[in-house]
Structure 1
Amino acid sequence: MKKIIAILAIGLSMTACVNEDANTDPNSAYSTVPGSLITYAQKELSDYVNTPSVNENNFRLTMQYWQETTYVNESNYDFTNRNVSNQIYSDNYVNVLNNLGKAKTIINAYAPTADELAAWPANKKTQLAIIDIMQVYTYQLLVDTFGNIPYTQAANLAQYPLPAYDDGATIYADLITRINADITALSSGTANSFPTFSSGDKIYGGDPVAWRTFANSLKLKLAIGIADSNPTLAQTNALAAIAAGVITSPAGNGHFPYQEASPNYNPLYENLEASGREDFVGGKTLVDYMNASNDPRRPGYFTTKGGQYIGLPIGEGGEFADYSHAGDYAYTPDTPGNILTSTEVAFYVAEANARWNTAAAPAAYTAAVTASILEWGGSAADATAYLATKPYDAVNWKKSIGEQAWVAMYNQALTGWNFWRRLDFPVLLAPPTAINNAGGKVPVRMAYPVLEQQTNSTNWKAASTAIGGDLLTTKLFWDKF
């Protein structure tokens, strides 16, 4: 962890080089203000969630959406060769959480002018709530990736240079408490009561109403995440979130707005087009599944080869030109970065109904699948025709929702990984060439960073023992079946 701390110190200095405009040269100086830190944190968060870089986010490969053409290590679950987990820690703890924490510190220390004094208490509460929502989102990502993680001590590295790990289930419960407090803090905000860092907030422009809807949607995501491990807490919060109002249309999507010019274009474009590399094509598992049902999303997801959609077998290399590769969305520099979308939320609503309101489940399932097809350019008629081949199965609803969420989360692979682990569908098989450490299975977690083993060994060992072993095959606390 000491090396991580060194990186964190660099990250802190870098925040003084980021303007509120994401277009600005990150090497130009400015006076640190919360909006600048938030811009930087949001971009780093979106970059991590959306990048296909094999150095930091291999979940498109893990979920068999894509397959590597030449270097197939990551498709075979060799993540240590590139120290992928180290980069995940750096991305999220250093670049995201550290900068959001610094923004909170600045806001709490701010002395308003006489003109600002009357409005400042409400404004301050709104700003802190928006920042906290992003922190909750990021901590959930980390728990869902590793299990137990540094949490209570991670926010104070000056006092805890080698932070202990907290129990994942306890963190989840606290994240739900935090998101409920954030929703309450935003309850008095209106669309016109923008906080002072509005230009720094690239997702919703500081709009408390939009952030409250996002927070309810994140609350639903948190609740569904523990539906099998803590069903009572999950049901109460999931149904409350839906009743309060979640994201229901693309207009409310939590998107980071990328731009056409470097360095602010989408990381997909950066790794696929700007790099000049031909590293990824469609994975045979997904392509074959979609072909079998004449899926109307195929033209959005993939290109054709000789008029057909052809996927490369998982774990094997091949020629880029011989297979379907990612569609135009991935080769467009300003494709927005997904943080939380209406399609994702629709599948949480479908799952909540399947678990706790079965009469409404078929309609919610239909709505979720339809939302995905419309998202990728299909029509309502396309959705109706497709659903005729994939009707809702009330007896085996985990299969219905699990398979369709997997397809729908094609461009949100981290989320697809969660649906798959929780619902156990689709049935994904590890390639015979997978590394021995995978135990012949598709990974259900990432191993802790090598740096943690080297520099925070005592706490790493305690965390590893607590979760049942620091292995790719160790199930998280919420992955019960």
Structure 2
Amino acid sequence: MKILFRVLLAAALTTAATGCEKFLDVNENPNNPTAATPSELLASALTTTAFNYSSGSNTSTLPGYNSYASFAADYWGKSGVVNGYTEERTYNYTNQFYQSLWSNTYDNLNDYNLIQQQAVGYPNHAAIARIMKVYNFLLLVDEFGDIPYFTALQGAASTTPTYDKAADIYKDFIVQLDGAIADANAAASGGVGVGAEDVVFRGDMKKWKQFANSLKLRILLRESQTGDAALDTYVRTQLATLQTAPDGFITNDVVVQPGYAQSANQQNPFFTRYGLTAAGTSATEQLYQIPTNFILNQYVNNNDPRVSQLYAFGVKDGASNVYVGTDLGERSPAGATATLRASFFLQGGGLLKGPNAPTPLMLLSEHLFSKAEAETRNLFTGGDAAASTDFQDGIKASFVYFYRTSTSLTDINSTPLSATTSGTPGIAQYNTYIAANTNNPLVNYALAPSAGSLGKQSVIIYQKYLAENSVASTEAWDDYRRTAQPKIQASLESISPRADKLPTRLLYPLTETNTNAANIPANVTQFTKIFWDVVD
């Protein structure tokens, strides 16, 4: 465990709790278990997951999953302000490149494991922990491939756990999520309830079951195009059952909100790393990365208002009302000078929302696009009619997310997309976007091709890619490896031998090489595919 975040009262989770002890400090390491209960551990574990997924800890030597994936998925390039970023520019990965993702995620998994071990008396907490273990293990499998799973998290009883096949782990994910839902249903009749320590859904177990179902959809789609007949049959069977799941799917963005505030060690982690410090000064890494020309062009060339919500204008060739990006690997990328200034993240915009903004774990837009894909591929019933509705709603959900100003879990969790009005932030811009693109097959689903490179699926993945920009880059990167869509650009300095000149995974970390070398799979490079990565 990286932290032991005790939550005794709901007040300790609000910005009014000015006396609480560094409640977002993820650098304490009390590995000696105490008598902490699941109620005292849950907020800590969920907040740590948010750190790891979003940007790493405030003082971590390496940022989080989305920071890594933002470079890999062609959202970010290096600015001209600093040197470095050698691995991102060349894909010449080492076993120290983002190795903290491995250790920090396993530390976080130990937190959830401790909660699950105390299921007696805390059945709902244990069910949440079981769901979040799948969420975190999925991150590890998708970026590293085969990992310690069935014999992991056993402490001194198994200090050198064996590695399990990624495909086998994937199947157990569904078993665990089914079990978590069953646990939550059984818990309805007793045990300690979940309250403010649940910094995602505030104890609403129906929403946790919906999240588990949406997580299943993410997992099953990931392994849906391998061409393995037996696996295809399994996936179709599971999806047929999933579509009619009693509790349905998420209806809002799934976010973590422990009470982020403009105070040291209490700010939103992404904002702290790439926006402003608690004192209001520029974060160290604020100017280190800039948007790629590829992602800027997708917005600008399609009259997409989101570009102005995500990035500030840059300066180039005497013009100050232009968006200025880079191609990853470019020798002289735009910096922050008076005559050549890049379009850095917009302060107060859709990415740098503010110090008190919640951290997403799953976007509603991602789920809706996933559902549309399942429908258009006949993995769900409904066909293109249902897919068209979910596709349009996915775009709308993206606009609502990027333009949302509310930071309240109550507001976010209680306002479904169907309840939005013309006054909802983002809806006016969404309507403008749709009206400007009636003849654009990338926006108007009715015009999307039914054949060609993946047909309508390619358009769904394209819009999903725009919605996940920098917020859920991990999912966009995984979707690219699964579908080869959209046709992102590799770094100009790539050493990759692949046709697309991109990598496919991270290397097993040095920490694992030093302690568990005998079990690490052999002949793995950053160009070795994950089992579900078969479409090029």
What TM-score comes out, normalization by structure 1 length? 0.85
The match for 2:412 is none
Instruction: Report the CA distance between 1:269 and its aligned residue.
Output: 1.5
Change (3 A) 1:238 1:326: farther
Give, in whole Å, the separation in 1 of the partners of 2:194 and 2:21: 16
Number of residues of Structure 1 aligned to a counterpart in Structure 2: 446
Query: Equivalent residue of 2:77, what SS?
Result: strand
| Structure 2 residue identity aligned to 1:413 | S
More displaced, 394-403 or 377-386?
377-386
Distance 1:161 1:262 in 2: 36
Deviation by residue 1:368-420 (Cα, 9 ceiling, x = unmatched)? 22321333233242342255222332321232122111111111111111111
Aligned equivalents of 1:303, 1:194: Cα separation in 2: 50
Mapping for residues 14-93 of structure 1, pairs under 5 Å: 14-15=3-4, 18-19=6-7, 21=12, 24-25=21-22, 31-51=35-55, 55-57=62-64, 58-69=68-79, 70=82, 71-77=84-90, 80=93, 83-93=96-106
Shift of 1:175: 0.6
Partner of 2:140: 142
Matches for 1:146-225 after TM superposition, within 5 Å: 146-187=144-185, 195-225=192-222
Residue 456 of structure 1 deviates from its aligned partner by: 1.3
Q: Deviations over 1:331-386 (max 9, x none)?
A: 61112101012111111101111211433323322222232133323324234225
Paired position in structure 2 for 1:480: 534
Maintained 8 Å contact 1:350/1:401: yes
1:263 maps to: 265
User: Cα distance 1:54–1:407, how it changes in 2: closer, same or farther (>3 A)?
Assistant: farther
Q: Secondary structure at the match of 2:501?
A: coil
> Per-residue displacement from partner, 1:90-129 (whole Å, max 9, x unpaired)?
11001x1011111222344xxxxxxxxxxx5xxx332221
Contact 2:362 2:472 in 1 (8 A): no
SS at match of 1:479: coil
Cα gap change, 1:343/1:195 in structure 2, threshold over 3 Å: closer, same or farther? farther
Q: Point out the more displaced range, 46-55 or 350-359.
A: 46-55
**Residue 300 (structure 2) aligns with:** 291
Aligned to 1:209, the other structure's residue is in SS state: helix
Flag the structure with higher helix content. Answer: 1
8 Å Cα contact 1:228/1:478 also seen in 2: yes
Change (3 A) 1:203 1:181: same
Distance across 1 between alignment mates of 2:187 and 2:288: 46
Shift of 1:213: 1.2
Return 5+ residue gaps in structure 1 as ranges: 1-10, 109-119
2:397 aligns to what? 371
**Alpha-carbon separation, structure 2, partners of 1:313 and 1:28:** 40
- Indicate conservation of the 8 Å contact 1:281/1:324, yes or no: yes
**Residue pairs, 1:276-355, within 5 angstroms:** 276-277=284-285, 278-305=287-314, 306-316=320-330, 317-320=333-336, 322-327=341-346, 328=348, 329-330=351-352, 332-355=354-377
Aligned residues of 1:68 and 1:281 also touching (Cα < 8 A): yes
Q: After superposition, where does 1:436-447 map in structure 2 within 5 Å?
A: 441-447=501-507
The secondary structure found in structure 2 opposite 1:339 is strand
Aligned-partner Cα distance in 2 for 1:87–1:437 = 26
Residue type at the aligned position of 1:100:
Y
Which one of 465, 478, 484 corresponds to residue 406 of structure 1? Answer: 465
Structure 1 residues 256 and 167, CA gap change in structure 2 (3 angstroms): farther
Equivalent position to 1:104, from 98, 104, 116: 116
**Percent identical residues:** 23
Q: Distance in 2 between matches of 1:282 and 1:444?
A: 21
Are the aligned partners of 1:437 and 1:472 in contact in 2 as well (CA < 8 Å)?
no
Check whether the contact 1:283–1:313 (CA below 8 A) recurs between aligned residues: yes
Looking at structure 1, the residues matched to 485 and 494 of structure 2 have their Cα atoms a distance apart, in angstroms, of: 20
How far does residue 182 in structure 1 lie from its aligned partner after superposition?
1.4
Residues 422 and 478, structure 1, Cα contact 8 Å, conserved in 2? yes
Moved more, 164-173 or 206-215: 206-215
Q: 1:129 to 1:248 in 2, by over 3 A?
A: closer
State the distance in 2 between where 1:320 and 1:425 align. 32
Structure-2 change in CA distance of 1:227 and 1:81 (3 Å): closer
CA contact (8 A) 1:54 1:74 kept: no
Provide the residue aligned with 2:524 in structure 1.
Answer: 470
Any stretches of 5+ residues in structure 2 without a counterpart?
14-19, 278-282, 315-319, 404-425
In structure 1, give the amino acid aligned to 2:209.
R
How far off is 1:50 after superposition? 0.9
Moved more, 229-238 or 125-134: 229-238
Alpha-carbon distance between aligned partners in 1 of 2:291 and 2:517, rounded to the nearest angstrom: 39
Contact (CA 8 Å) 1:405, 1:419: kept in 2 or not? Answer: no
Q: What's the CA shift for 1:150?
A: 0.4
Q: Counterpart of 1:114?
A: none
Structure 1 281/453 Cα, relative in aligned 2: closer, same or farther at 3 Å? same
CA contact (8 A) 1:214 1:254 kept: no
Per the TM alignment, residue 145 of structure 1 is displaced from its structure 2 partner at its CA by 0.8
Q: SS at the partner of 1:84?
A: coil
How much has 1:235 moved relative to structure 2? 2.5
- Would you say the 8 A contact 1:149–1:167 is kept in 2? yes
Q: Is the 8 A contact 1:149 1:168 kept in 2?
A: yes
Could you tell me how far 1:238 is from its partner in structure 2? 2.9
